């Protein structure tokens, strides 16, 4: 009986090893859609501009991202490959999406500058490729990466992105540490200027293992990505080394 219960739990809780073929019924925005079986799917690894709900205002390029997603997905049979974490707090399936031609759906949005990479451990399988595609779109100033973009900010205008996932590019001028966290400061006013926080245990293990430490970061220009929030000044938390790039 105990063995049967363990088998039941494994079947219910573990994501399938192989992809699930579904048909897309409705596209909500560039990275979220609904299948004919009413399954709500959030694409892993990317974040597209938000479509305004109700009387809300669309973010720039939200409709373009949604239209491209609709062109590629609507009424198509696509394959969902779940991440290690296969469900988000909102009950949406988290999955990589393969189109009928075998291509990765996320590639199309990233190549056209209609999505940014969003990193949520442990779902990291395709992130290096996604980062390269995003970087190329930024170099070509496509879509959301046009000059003056609100998706790529400097530390002194980071408040424009409060509450959203954004990229911030600037120089680390000071590094401080508390009992539980490490802080990268991007201005001389530590309590009010843009600051990045990293958990101390992650800093000592994962970040150091990727060559990210005080010697490699202090005084360097870096690109960080994550959600911006207000805590004295504007702040961002990093959970993985791939959320910071040196020399950009």
The Cα 191–Cα 157 span in angstroms is 16
Residue 65: which H helix or E strand, with range?
helix 62-73
Assess whether 50 carries a catalytic annotation. Answer: yes
Residue 85 designated active-site:
no
Contact (Cβ atoms closer than 8 angstroms) between residue 45 and residue 123: yes
Catalytic residue among 40, 70, 92, 190: 92
Rounded to an integer, what distance in angstroms lies between the CA atom of residue 101 and that of residue 91?
Answer: 28
Q: Which of 42, 118, 166, 225 is catalytic?
A: 42
Phi, psi of 186, rounded to the nearest 5 degrees? -110, 10
Residue 94 CA to residue 178 CA, distance in Å, equals 34
| The two three-digit tokens of residue 14, written as one number | 């573990």
Say whether 92 is catalytic.
Answer: yes
Burial 11-47 (b: 16+ CB within 10 A, else e): eeeebeeeebebebeebbbbbbbbbeeebebbbbbbb
Residue 92, both tokens: 């949406």
Beta bridge partners of 98: 79, 104
Question: Do 200 and 177 contact (CB within 8 A), yes or no?
Answer: yes
The alpha carbon dihedral of 98, 101, 104, 109 has a sign of: negative
In the chain, what is the greatest distance between 2 CA atoms, to the nearest angstrom? 64
- 199 Cα distance to chain centroid: 19
Instruction: List the catalytic residues.
Output: 42, 50, 92
């Amino acid at each position: 009986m105990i063995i049967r219960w363990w088998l039941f739990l494994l079947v219910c809780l573990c994501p399938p090893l192989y992809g699930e073929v579904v048909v897309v019924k409705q596209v909500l925005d560039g990275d979220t859609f609904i299948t004919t079986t009413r399954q709500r799917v959030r694409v892993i690894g990317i974040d597209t501009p938000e479509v305004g709900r109700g009387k809300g205002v669309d973010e720039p390029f939200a409709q373009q991202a949604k239209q491209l997603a609709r062109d590629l997905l609507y009424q198509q049979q696509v394959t969902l490959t779940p991440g290690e974490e296969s469900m988000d707090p909102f009950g949406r399936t988290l999955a990589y999406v393969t189109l009928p031609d075998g291509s990765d759906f996320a590639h199309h949005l990233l190549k056209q500058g209609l999505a940014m990479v969003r990193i949520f451990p442990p779902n990291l399988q395709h992130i290096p490729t996604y980062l390269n595609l995003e970087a190329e779109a930024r170099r070509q100033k496509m879509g959301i990466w046009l000059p003056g973009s609100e998706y790529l900010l400097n530390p002194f205008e980071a408040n424009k992105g409060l509450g959203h996932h954004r990229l911030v590019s600037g120089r680390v001028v000071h590094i401080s540490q508390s009992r539980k966290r490490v802080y990268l400061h991007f201005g001389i006013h530590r309590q009010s200027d843009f600051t990045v926080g990293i958990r101390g245990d992650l800093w000592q293990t994962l970040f150091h293992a990727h060559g990210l430490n005080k010697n490699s970061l202090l005084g360097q220009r870096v690109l960080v990505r994550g959600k911006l929030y207000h805590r004295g000044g504007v702040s961002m938390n990093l959970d993985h080394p791939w959320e910071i790039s040196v020399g950009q």
